[in-house]
Structure 1
Amino acid sequence: MPLNFDKVCRLCMSQENMLFPLFKNEENLHQKVMDIIPDLLLRADDGLPRQVCSQCLQQVNSSYDFKQHCENTDTILRKLLLQMQVYNLF
């Protein structure tokens, strides 16, 4: 039974009526996926599905936001630590 790649989610293989483009430049969805899962090889011309389902779209955005939040927190904490170390030296 052949699979219609135009009706399949690239990330979970679900077949839904509502799919969203993975490679729409304004959304940067493919870049978010690659930031979260760098081992995935996503290219618009690789012949694989070019869309994602609503659940994967939500999970990608949520995961990306969490990743960004963690990175921002790490930056702030490291700056605070440095300030505390400098303050304790004098």
Structure 2
Amino acid sequence: MEVKKHNSKRKCKQTDKHYNDMCRLCMTKNAKVPIFPEKDELKLDKEPPLVCKIMSSVNIQMRKDDGLPSHICCDCASKVQSTYDFLRLCEMSDSFLRQFLDFGLDISWVFRYSELLRVIDRNEEYSSDEQ
């Protein structure tokens, strides 16, 4: 996937409140979710930063110093996470199915294994809800 590059030297006035509150992805108001992580957040988080999830899902380039809004709205953040999760699921499924094919294993094992993963996933969701 080719990334669209924009080399404009012009930058909007970032002192404008409406500009700073604009969602970088859908341009709605009240964007509260920061795109770029603080340095200390990178060490604590197991998942990639939001900016990496966005750039791996859509064909845009983002830099902290590019003069564009640095927040997105909650709706877009949710969509980015869902898209990221779906892409990872597709990649894992493809890898798993190719391994089964390479080893010549019975396809019935694929269904058993995928059901086991669903049960484990549900149990993890249940245990994290209790905390």
Do they superpose with TM above 0.5? yes
2:111 maps to none
2:71 maps to 51
Superposed counterparts of 1:1-90, under 5 Å: 4-16=18-30, 19-25=32-38, 26=41, 28-37=49-58, 39-84=59-104
SS in 1 for 2:72: strand
Identity of counterpart residues, as a percentage?
37
Report deviation, 1:19. Answer: 1.1
Amino acid of the residue matched to residue 84 of structure 2? Y
SS in 1 for 2:104: helix
Runs of 4+ in 1 over 4 A off after TM superposition: none
Report deviation, 1:5. Answer: 2.0
Distance in structure 2 (CA, Å) of the matches to 1:5 and 1:35 = 25
Report deviation, 1:32. Answer: 0.3
Report deviation, 1:80. Answer: 0.3
Distance in structure 2 (CA, Å) of the matches to 1:20 and 1:34 = 16
Q: Deviations over 1:47-86 (max 9, x none)?
A: 000000000000000100000000000000000000118x
Structure ranking higher on relative contact order (CA contacts 8 Å, 6+ apart):
1
Q: Deviations over 1:4-24 (max 9, x none)?
A: 3211000000002x5110001
User: Aligned pairs, how many?
Assistant: 82
